[in-house]
Amino acid sequence: MRSLLDLSSWSALLTTLGSLVAVSLVAVGIRLVFMQTLQRRRERENRQINERLKTLIAAYKTLGGSFTGELVVSPAHLRDLRSMQPGDAGEADDPTSAAAERRRRIRDAVEAALSDVILLGTEEQVGLAAAAARDMVAGRPVETAALVASLRVFIRQALDLEPIPASLVIPAQGPLRVAAGGGGKREPAGGRPGGGGGAGGAMAGGAGMGMGMGASRGARDDPAAGGEGGVA
């Protein structure tokens, strides 16, 4: 203790105080660097968790956005439907029908959601998503209810929400039904072939009628034309 606090002279006292200040500054600097490093690591982990939760929540909504209707994903591709013989496919399996277009859109959305789950899901979720992807590649109908249940439990735990009671029965969930929008043929602007021309003709007819009315009014007012204005 005496070696650290030498009070025998003013120079020794100043040296001791300078040493204490230097040691304190070094300790404070190390503490600040450590705190900044820890804070950056926490921010990076929070960003990763937020992005992961955002992606998995979107996948949950896609894979389990429906409780009614068809809860199984059809793995058929457009090339498969086109390769079928005309007698093998009914009207519902027509590649140009709205129902076929809706099934393809649902399958594409489910494929993207399965890819996200395989990338960011837990070990259990990755296994379920991989099994669903294998079924889709093999051409078998895909069920997503088990994967949706696993995602629901994980997301609620990550958000610190209370678990769902075991006594509460939740119906099986299936993929979100999307609109077929844009799958059918578009009609011309007039609602039928030549509709645009009909609209243009109507506009031209209206303009011609207005010009004709203006010309007849001018003829009545012109004395030289023998109209009402020329009557004495």
Q: What is the mean pLDDT of residues 223-228?
A: 44
pLDDT surpassing 50 at residue 104 = yes
Spatial contact of 120 and 112, defined as CB atoms under 8 Å apart:
no
How many Cα atoms within 13 Å fall on the side-chain side of residue 202? 6
Residue 195 predicted with pLDDT over 50: no
C-alpha–C-alpha distance, residues 101 and 107, integer Å: 10
Q: Is 206 exposed, middle or buried (0-12, 13-18, 19+ CB in 10 A)?
A: exposed
Give the separation between CA 202 and CA 19, rounded to whole angstroms. Answer: 97
Where are the domains positioned within the chain?
49-78+99-159
User: pLDDT at residue 132 above 50?
Assistant: yes
What are the tens digits of pLDDT across the range 69-99?
Answer: 778 888 776 555 555 545 444 444 555 577 7
φ, ψ of residue 94 to 5 degrees: the values are -65, 125
pLDDT at 205: 46
C-alpha–C-alpha distance, residues 37 and 198, integer Å? 71
The reported pLDDT for the residue numbered 110 is 93
For residue 92, what are its two tokens? 């519902």
Give the β-pairing of 72-73 and 142-143: antiparallel
Q: What is the pLDDT of residue 118?
A: 95
The tokens describing 21, both together, are 């200040």
| Percent of the chain clearing pLDDT 90 (strictly above) | 35
DSSP secondary structure, the chain, as one string: -TTTS--SSHHHHHHHHHHHHHHHHHHHHHHHHHHHHHHHHHHHHHHHHHHHHHHHHHHHHHHS-BSSS--EE----HHHHHHS-TTTS-STT-TTSHHHHHHHHHHHHHHHHHHHHHHHS-HHHHHHHHHHHHHHHHT--EE-HHHHHHHHHHHHHHTTPPPPPTTSPPPP-BPPP---TT-SPPPPTTSSTTHHHHHHHHHHHHHHHHHHHHHHHHHHH-GGGTSGGG--
pLDDT above 60: residue 22: yes
